[in-house]
Amino acid sequence: MNVAIAKPVRHARTSAVGVLIEVVKYTLLIGLAFSFFVPFLWMISSALKDDPQIYTVPPIWLPSPMHPENFINGWTKFNFTKFAANSIVRYAIPSTILVTLSSAVVAYGFSRLRWHGRDLLFGLCLATIMIPFQVVMVPLFITFKTLGWLNSYMPLVIPGIFGSPWFIFMLRQFFLTIPEELSDAARIDGAGEIGILFRIVLPLARPALIVVALFQFLGAWNDYLGPLLYINKEDLFPLALGIGILRRMTGETGTTALVYPYLMAVSTIITVPIIIAYFLAQRRFIEGITTTGMKG
């Protein structure tokens, strides 16, 4: 009789502990999510303020009055439409296509083909990840200056032909999860390695390719140091350098009038496309991240 009563009590206690753990877990997750959202919320709030409201202490979260014209004025003060076109057409899209395609080809060679010295070269490829950009920054600048590539996007786009070590590693790990039997069956049917890559492997690796493309596009979209090194003509500036112009903007009296609200307004406009792109590709993005590296 006592044993029969003890089992439901023990089960109830276990259930209560499980519910408490879930409550604590989701409370922490919600708190962390909110902490990540607060800077974005502050950016939007600051974009709707004027200078006096920006520097008010304690801070004002809900501007009164609001100034939605800051978005138009900040975007049109300088030619940010031109800067956006430079970022998308001249930099982000070409580099994304080249890096994604070349990284996939190299990763296929490291994962599906057997050749002498493959593992050694793969190790050397991974070792380049540990080299900081500051180490090669000056030699690269001298090289591209000698080639006459300064004040163009060639130093930022052309190296993408050789792929990215991090993306090569990531795609290699994903390719290893694809059954070898599919490639063997294609070889029996007479397909070559290029055909196997483009007709079998890449379609199956679509989630990983989306992750690589999204990371590369995001990196190019936000890149500041690269264009700062190689581009000094304002007409060629990408968005990252264009925002730098707003930081140096002065009003008619010589003061930095409305710099901060304009800066936040333009930053909000630039951030929105990336957020939209992430949510549109969220399912593929998470799938590519979770399935990469399951075999190696």
Residues 255, 41: contact at Cβ < 8 Å? Answer: no
Pair 95, 10 in one domain: no
52, part of any domain: no
Residues 207, 175: contact at Cβ < 8 Å? Answer: no
| Cβ within 8 Å of residue 36, ≥6 positions away | none
Pair 260, 123 in one domain: yes
pLDDT category at 287 given cuts 50, 70, 90 is: low
**pTM score > 0.85 for this model?**
no
- Number of domain units in the chain: 2
Pair 28, 152 in one domain: no
Residues 239, 40: Cα–Cα separation, whole Å: 18
pLDDT tens digits, one per residue of 163-209: 899 999 999 988 888 888 888 888 888 888 888 888 888 898 888 89
**Closest among 223, 258, 234, 236 to 71, alpha carbons compared:** 258
pLDDT tens digits, one per residue of 74-94: 888 778 899 999 999 999 999
58, part of any domain: no
Q: Quick one: 46 exposed, middle or buried, by C-beta within 10 A (0-12, 13-18, 19+)?
A: buried
The pLDDT assigned to 67 comes to: 86
DSSP readout, 251-292? -TTSS-TTHHHHHHHHHHHHHHHHHHHHHHTHHHHHHHHHHT
64, part of any domain: no
11, part of any domain: yes
Pair 32, 87 in one domain: no
219, part of any domain: yes
69, part of any domain: no
Pair 19, 148 in one domain: no
The pLDDT assigned to 251 comes to: 47
The pLDDT assigned to 231 comes to: 92
Number of Cβ within a 10 Å radius of residue 2? 5
Pair 35, 180 in one domain: no
Cis, bond preceding 65 (omega within 30 deg of 0)? yes
Residues 86, 220: Cα–Cα separation, whole Å: 11
Pair 142, 27 in one domain: no
61, part of any domain: no
The alpha helices in the chain, defined as continuous H runs, are: 2-47, 51-54, 69-77, 80-85, 93-111, 118-127, 133-146, 154-157, 165-175, 180-188, 193-196, 202-204, 206-222, 225-230, 239-247, 259-280, 282-291
The domain of 37 spans 2-47
Pair 15, 142 in one domain: no
Pair 34, 161 in one domain: no
199, part of any domain: yes
Residues 29, 268: Cα–Cα separation, whole Å: 25
- The domain spanning residue 264 has which CATH number? 1.10.3720.10
